[in-house]
């Protein structure tokens, strides 16, 4: 958690997927720096062959849905997050399409929807209960020994998370 799902009807290159996943992760962590990096999930699904309707008509579109923890965060936080993610999509996907194909053809590269759904989910990530947004520091302290143990055993997710937490503590 957060969980970003990108359903795309246009072809994305591996490079674009990598760049989008990294951009979304960076944007999310810049807005909510206490979120463990290990929690940021981005999934891509090619839906070009799926039957889809927009306005009751057969049409394909590109959609980005994000489920994020609410906690005590304000609507303005999510609006800014949405706008930054949309800007990243335009930079990584739409702009190159316009340069290569022209504005009219590139219209199908735009996002049909970008929806963020803040909530207070109850769940687990990597076997650990999800913390309430805003209570990550206490959650990290409670689980730090186990995080370090998993990182020391070579679990890449926990290696990255421990590095992220240690770097954020130095700031």
> Looking at the domain assignment, is residue 19 inside a domain?
yes
Best-predicted range by mean pLDDT (19-23, 120-124, 137-141) = 19-23
Is residue 82 assigned to a domain?
yes
**Positions of E strands within 9-149:** 41-46, 53-54, 57-58, 62-69, 111-119, 124-125, 128-129
Residue 51, in any domain of the structure: yes
Domain of residue 59, CATH code: 3.30.429.10
pTM, rounded to two decimals = 0.84
> What integer is the mean pLDDT of 9-16?
96
Separation CA 60–CA 145 (nearest Å): 47
Domain annotation covers residue 157: no
Give me the helix-helix angle, 14-31 and 75-89, nearest 10°.
Answer: 160
In a domain, 171, yes or no: no
CB contact set of 136 (below 8 Å; sequence gap of 6+): 34, 35, 36
149 band by pLDDT with thresholds 50, 70 and 90: very high
The tally of domains found in the chain comes to 1
Residue 137 placed within a domain: no
* Percentage of the residues of the chain whose pLDDT score is greater than 90: 60
Mean pLDDT of 88-93: 98
On average, the pLDDT of the chain sits at 91
User: Which residues span the domain enclosing 92?
Assistant: 3-131
**pLDDT value for 154:** 93
């Amino acid at each position: 958690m957060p969980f970003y799902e990108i359903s795309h009807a246009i072809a994305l290159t591996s490079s674009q997927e990598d760049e989008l996943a990294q951009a979304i992760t960076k944007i999310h962590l810049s807005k909510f720096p206490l979120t463990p990096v290990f929690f940021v999930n981005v999934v891509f699904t090619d839906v070009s062959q799926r039957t889809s309707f927009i306005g009751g008509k057969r049409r394909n579109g590109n959609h980005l849905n994000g489920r994020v923890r609410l906690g005590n965060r304000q609507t303005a936080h999510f609006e800014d997050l949405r706008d930054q993610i949309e800007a990243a999509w335009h930079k990584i996907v739409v702009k190159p399409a316009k340069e290569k194909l022209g504005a009219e053809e590139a219209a199908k590269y735009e996002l049909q929807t970008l929806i963020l759904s803040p909530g207070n989910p109850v769940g687990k990530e990597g076997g650990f209960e999800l913390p309430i947004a805003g209570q990550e520091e206490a959650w990290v302290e409670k689980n730090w020994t186990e995080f370090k143990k998993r990182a020391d055993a070579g679990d890449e997710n926990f290696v990255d998370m421990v590095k992220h937490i240690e770097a954020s503590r130095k700031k």
